[in-house]
Structure 1
Amino acid sequence: MVRAFALLGDQRCKQLKNRASSKDQGARGSRTPRPRLDIYQLDDHNCTTSSLSFSPCFPGKSAVTQTHSSAMTFASSSSVLPSGSSKDSSSVTTHSLKSLECRPLATEMVPGLPVVQVKSVPLGTPEFEEKRAALLEAFAAKVPEELRLPLEVIQNPPTDVSSIPTTCGILSPEEIIITEGYDAVGLVEAIASRNHTAIAVARAFCKRSIIAHQLTCCLTQWFMDEAIEQAQKLDSYFETHGNPVGPLHGLPISIKDHIQVAGTSSSQGYFISISDDDQDADIVSILRAQGAIIYCKTNQPQSLMHLESDSHWGRVLNPFNIHLSAGGSTGGESALIAMKGSILGIGTGIGGSIRGPSAFCGIYGFKTTSSVLPTRGYIKGDPPPAVVNIPLSTGPMCRSLRDMDLLMKCVLSSTPYLWDPNVVPIPWTGLETRFNRRLKVGIISNDGFIEPQPPVKRAISWAMSLLSDSKFSNLIELKEFKVLGAEKAWSQVRRLYWPDGGHLTKNGIISSGEPLHPLTEWIYRDAEPLGMHTAVDLTAVHKERDDFRLAFAKSWSDQDVDVIIGPSFVGPACAHDTAFYWTYTSLYNLVDYPGAVIPTPIRAESGEVYDTGYVPLSDACRHVRDLWEEGDFGGALVSLQVVARRYHDNELFGALRVLKDVLNLS
């Protein structure tokens, strides 16, 4: 038995009492008994206590984790939510965490593989929790004891867990080299040069991915046996024919959970949407044909429609600060890649679901213009209603610019437009695209709606300083870029996401006894007052969307830039359940422009403050400042976003080629 006590006010986090249980659960032979954790958890009005197990998803509203110094830290069980409907979306309500009392809250233990969770997802009905428990146990049964982290690591994780896979002793020296020493391009070259076998590479990434999962809850499915079998076939082919199967020979690639992979299941982030898949999505088929090994699927948000990857599998944690979000909706991918449990993954998004997570976790991510890459098979059954109004985009998430280019080159070389007429036939030149003049770069300090938080402003200043250096004056013409209508775009896009009033997904979630998660509830606040759109309604909102696109294109042309560089989010990675404002990414989904996220050397510092002359641009802007002042984001990574015009994806990569040396990109 492990019991932890957290006290309020100045005395909180100062008492920790441990008692070891001798009771053997006996579920897996000599398996270590799962601990329970009694926690005092804060909400708006009180402090509750609950008994939780260290498992992929804790029941209850909130959880607490121990840092490496054995101090206990709180995670608020209710987010500071902006109040109001879509007509009052910028008004906000803040809550104080003080003068609270304590009361007990009874909860149950959840079976499954022990996984760090600093803030739990809500508890559903007993019937739902029973089904969910069976799902978690089935996952756990696939994980051998030798790949499980010691229980004390799960109970007492450091704030930054990113180095644990290297130091935990589970990986061999060769496996550490394989998973850390290359980007995707370098790894396929090493396999082709016979420096590593496909089996060795597959085993290394399978092992590292399950270690990463225990620390961040990034996976939904893990199929090591199948991956090794794929690798054996690739090695046999190489031995027999003397050459690789294709340009991705032996490269492990992770896949977001909702994308179909034959022999696995897929979902839209809620339990009742789980379905078995008997065929691959087109992009998965292409990757396999070129030699890729599919070995895991990754976590995503409930309903796919927000920037916190919390589902029936649990909440994904940021590897560099587990008290912060890994982003969404492709947050499982971003956490896994940041933990080096994947070298290349496939993300999707209609509001920032590739760029947001990539920025939160400091990796590279690219959202294409819609229909540049094939997306058939991305959703089994009926797609989310949002895609009626905002087209789905997809793209790579990885370690370098050339990895993004590799994925694009390999997929488009297969001419997917010949069998899918929805794919636009654009020949890929990528990083080989050249400008025969200076690159015109517009830089965004703010979007006129929300002023970025302090570390993002420092990142903008860092980029501006490098881009304006006289030694690059023959390469770059730097301009200030004024964003047209960011507040209007944010209002529009939130309404466009819900042509059905949100009823389809909401009813699907609650029908199974699954609880709505905080950010899922928040996104429905705008949806439900709108109700089901008629054909006339859709025609009107499409005209409004297209009118905005025309105005934005004119503004871009008037400012005469090739690409723009600006924030990827209002701040660095945010605290859990507070990713309310996607304005810096969703705008470019509304206008359907391609965008890439690039890391910077900037990290958030504890205690950073806003400028003394700060004046909020809006109520939302004021709320973003409040969220900053209430949290501790020390060590959080900061990334920026580079955007080009619609269907100028090649030109975007040509610009990245120029920016690579200026901004020291990998």
Structure 2
Amino acid sequence: MTLGVKPVLKGSPGYEARRAAVLEEFAAKVPDKLRLPIELINNPPKNVTGVPKDCGLLTPEELTITEDYDATALAGLIASKKLTAVAVATAFSKRAIIAHQLTGCLTEWFMDDAIEQAKHLDEHLQSTGKTVGPLHGVPFSVKEHLPLAGHYSSIGLYDTRVKDEKDCHIVAALRDAGAVFYCKTNQPQAMMHLDTSSSWGRTLNPHNIHLSAGGSSGGEAALLAMRGSVLGMGSDIAGSVRNPAAFCGIYGFKPTTCVVPRKGLIAGGAIAELNILTTAGPLCNSLRDMDLFMSVLLDSKPYLVDPTLVPMSWTGLKSLPQPKPLKIGVMMNDGVIVPQPPITRALNWAIEKLKASNNFSIRTFEPYNVSKAINNAILAYWPDGSNGIKKHLAASGEPMLPLTQLVIKAAEGPELTPYQILAQHLDRDQFRCDFARHWESQDVDFVLCPVFFGPACEHEMVFYPNYTAFWNYVDYPGAVVPTPIKAGKKGTEKYAADAPAPLSKDDEHVRQMWEEGDFEGAPVNLQIVARKYHDNDLFAALEKMQWALELP
């Protein structure tokens, strides 16, 4: 039912039979009237973002609903009864399954459930004159691993797939605010690489289907780029919200950990969290929708039922003005890899825009010991020596995918002892203190930097998570925002003639990938980072940057 640009590896016959049955069950739920022509599936355009508008499967009203509004606007239109929750849920459910046929972004689709949820909300508004909350009737997509009552989740391994009986804490808070759930989205095997390929297949980048949608929230990002969702949720432990948001040209935010609800986020927990915590975050198409997501969650006071959370209130885009000018440190490279040309071009574009405003003082931010941080992080993600993942794969006959093999390679071996894990903790905490001093020495309020070494990569070529995983290791909040910059046709853009010699073997490899790859149409995003727990300050800065960088 979906495009087969690059199939994933096959596993054992038993695994393949079980996998096929699950995929057939999914396909059987899709009515013929929502299926794209087989000719289009077999001969798709490189850029599929325009197909939903042109395919004839959506009404003019459904196109308006899915293309012309963000979540904040839709919430207002539903609250004022200018749109019904049913009409909105129907439109996004239809567009989501169209997006899936073009990008492979979904793992579950439940339009009928969504319409039932929406009917109850419409009836409540009609009878009481009040909404149930700030997300009343807003369609909401959810990454596969996040437990949603009555639906399936997994930790990116086939044998962990279960039907959940109740919502995890963060989903429950969004449901209480009126969110309507209608689909779950694809994630990579084991959820630990920046490219989305799994037992459900491969997720494609809507702007260029020969490129990755990123990971591990790649399904979410592709769906949002296709306007099959207006607001979605992923998770981030090494860049898993920010990387796919950047690859697909949308907004994404990784909060400081222990700010938004974490209880039940990953069924059974994750071994990596012995060292580095994950956090949920929004993916969306506007700055104010990122703010809405955070506002809804923090206004619910989640810390009252989960004492592991920090009792932070949310001011976000409405935070009090900060002293002028804001000191923005620009990190042009991380000292290990010089970004590919479109990224450097976007950074220079942003610098010029910010310099033209009186609100910012631009200065250089020197990278700090990135190689050490990334090496430490990679080992910290697998304190079991990666033996757990191998047991899961062996139990089901699921094949180990190439990027899974790559991300566990450095950590393969015996399980660490408690004292060895303690040593990792001590190294991490010392590094965080050292980096905090480095930040202070740079005399900056915020850092502007790449999200990745380049635009979206070709499939299975998403290496080197330096530009995101570093910030997870030190636990600083980061937002990624779109720019008007896109990668051009192959051969039209080169590294600058005065570019420094490669900084490392990784840098040499990145330059080789640029010379050999075709990244035409890939969006370019940038990342803005703040100190730990300065999430509100980051949004206050984004509010100022919004005008200078012309952010929607």
Whether the 8 Å CA contact 2:253–2:479 is kept in 1: the answer is yes
The residue that corresponds to 1:75 in the other structure is none
Q: How far off is 1:611 after superposition?
A: 2.1
What amino acid maps onto 2:325 in structure 1? R
| 1:613 pairs with 2:498 | yes
C-alpha offsets along residues 351-385 of structure 1, whole Å, 9 cap, x if unaligned? Answer: 0000000000000000000010001121122x221
What SS is found at the alignment partner of 1:440? strand
What amino acid maps onto 1:562 in structure 2? D
Q: 1:589 & 1:506 partners in 2: Cα distance?
A: 25
Structure 2 counterpart of 1:362, from 249, 254, 270: 249
Q: 2:283 & 2:445 partners in 1: Cα distance?
A: 23
Q: How far off is 1:211 after superposition?
A: 0.2
- Normalising by structure 1, what TM-score? 0.82
| 1:567 pairs with 2:450 | yes
| 1:351 pairs with 2:235 | no
Whether the 8 Å CA contact 1:375–1:394 is kept in 2: the answer is yes
Q: 2:497 & 2:324 partners in 1: Cα distance?
A: 41
Cα root mean square deviation, aligned: 0.8
The residue that corresponds to 1:634 in the other structure is 520
What SS is found at the alignment partner of 2:189? coil
Whether the 8 Å CA contact 2:141–2:220 is kept in 1: the answer is yes
Whether the 8 Å CA contact 1:510–1:516 is kept in 2: the answer is no
Alignment of 1:72-91 (within 5 A): none
Q: 2:428 & 2:125 partners in 1: Cα distance?
A: 51
Give the structure, 1 or 2, with the largest relative contact order (CA under 8 Å, sep 6 or more): 2
The residue that corresponds to 2:377 in the other structure is 493
Structure 2 counterpart of 1:482, from 353, 359, 366: 366
What SS is found at the alignment partner of 1:347? strand
Structure 1 counterpart of 2:482, from 599, 602, 614: 599
C-alpha offsets along residues 471-499 of structure 1, whole Å, 9 cap, x if unaligned? Answer: x12x1111111111111111111111111
Q: How far off is 1:436 after superposition?
A: 3.0
Q: 1:611 & 1:292 partners in 2: Cα distance?
A: 47
Q: 1:560 & 1:510 partners in 2: Cα distance?
A: 51
Q: 2:394 & 2:534 partners in 1: Cα distance?
A: 42
Whether the 8 Å CA contact 2:155–2:267 is kept in 1: the answer is no
Q: Which has the larger radius of gyration?
A: 1
Q: How far off is 1:612 after superposition?
A: 2.7
| 1:309 pairs with 2:199 | no
Q: How far off is 1:141 after superposition?
A: 1.1
Whether the 8 Å CA contact 2:253–2:283 is kept in 1: the answer is yes
What SS is found at the alignment partner of 1:665? coil
What SS is found at the alignment partner of 2:437? helix
The residue that corresponds to 2:316 in the other structure is 430
Structure 2: gaps spanning 5 or more residues? none
Alignment of 1:115-194 (within 5 A): 115-194=2-81
| 1:253 pairs with 2:136 | no
| 1:503 pairs with 2:503 | no
Q: How far off is 1:438 after superposition?
A: 1.6
Q: How far off is 1:394 after superposition?
A: 1.4
Q: 2:424 & 2:267 partners in 1: Cα distance?
A: 27
What amino acid maps onto 1:396 in structure 2? P
What amino acid maps onto 1:286 in structure 2? A
Alignment of 1:49-68 (within 5 A): none
What SS is found at the alignment partner of 1:303? helix
Structure 1 counterpart of 2:265, from 378, 388, 399: 378
Structure 1: gaps spanning 5 or more residues? 1-113
Structure 2 counterpart of 1:419, from 302, 305, 315: 305
What amino acid maps onto 2:399 in structure 1? P
What amino acid maps onto 1:618 in structure 2? S
Structure 2 counterpart of 1:228, from 115, 119, 131: 115
Q: 1:611 & 1:478 partners in 2: Cα distance?
A: 22
The residue that corresponds to 1:108 in the other structure is none
Q: 1:504 & 1:343 partners in 2: Cα distance?
A: 36
What amino acid maps onto 1:550 in structure 2? C
Q: 2:365 & 2:30 partners in 1: Cα distance?
A: 51
Q: 2:33 & 2:474 partners in 1: Cα distance?
A: 49
- Where is the helix percentage greater, Structure 1 or Structure 2? 2
The residue that corresponds to 1:4 in the other structure is none
Q: 2:400 & 2:494 partners in 1: Cα distance?
A: 34
The residue that corresponds to 2:149 in the other structure is 262
Whether the 8 Å CA contact 1:117–1:317 is kept in 2: the answer is no
What amino acid maps onto 2:159 in structure 1? I
Q: 1:384 & 1:612 partners in 2: Cα distance?
A: 45
Q: Determine what percentage of the aligned residue pairs are the same residue.
A: 53
> Could you list the runs of 4 or more consecutive aligned residues of structure 1 that deviate by over 6 angstroms after TM superposition?
none
| 1:324 pairs with 2:232 | no
C-alpha offsets along residues 197-227 of structure 1, whole Å, 9 cap, x if unaligned? Answer: 0000000000000000000000000001100
| 1:523 pairs with 2:410 | no
Q: 1:391 & 1:202 partners in 2: Cα distance?
A: 33
Q: How far off is 1:610 after superposition?
A: 1.6
What amino acid maps onto 2:180 in structure 1? I
Q: 2:371 & 2:308 partners in 1: Cα distance?
A: 31
Q: How far off is 1:579 after superposition?
A: 0.8
What SS is found at the alignment partner of 1:380? coil
Q: 2:136 & 2:191 partners in 1: Cα distance?
A: 31
